[in-house]
Every structure is written in C-alpha cells, then in structure tokens.
Amino acid sequence: MAEIILKFALEETLKKVGSLAVEEERQAREASVKIWLQNLREVAYEAEDVLDEFGYEVLRQKVETTPTEKVRNFFSASLRWE
C-alpha cells in the first residue's frame, strides 16, 4: 500500500514540475533556457511513465498473489479440522 501512495505522491510532484516547465518555457527568452526546460519536461513525462508502469506492476503482482494465498489459507484451515 505504501508503494501506491508513494507512486501517486511522486506522480503529482512530476506533474507539477512538468507544468512549471511549461510555464517557465513561455516566459524564457533565451534559446538555451528553452531547450533546458523542454528537456526537463520530457524527463518529467518519462519519469511519470515509469511510475505508471511501477504502479501497474505492484497491482498486477498483488492480484496474482491474492488467489494463491486464499487457496493456501483454505486448505490450511481445512487440514486443521481433520
């Protein structure tokens, strides 16, 4: 659960960084600053994509392990009654 909370917190931060880069890019007058801000925005978007993939993997693994645990617990409880 902590991984998911961390993912969403980081995702929000990256969105803010991306928005800041867009706004600063509008205000920048020098070409080198504009290029740097474009690169910053691209990195923020790529990091957001990585976090999306991470969140997907966390949920996928949770879904894959849950049925196994339920079956194991069922059989474990059944064996105790015998």
pLDDT at 71 over 70: no
pTM over 0.75: no
Pairwise pLDDT comparison (36 vs 2), residue with the higher score? 36
Q: Domain residue spans in the chain?
A: 2-81
Share of the chain above pLDDT 90, in %: 10
pLDDT at 31 over 80: no
CA distance linking residue 21 with residue 4, whole number of Å: 26
CA distance linking residue 73 with residue 18, whole number of Å: 46
What is the Cα Rg of the chain in Å?
A: 22
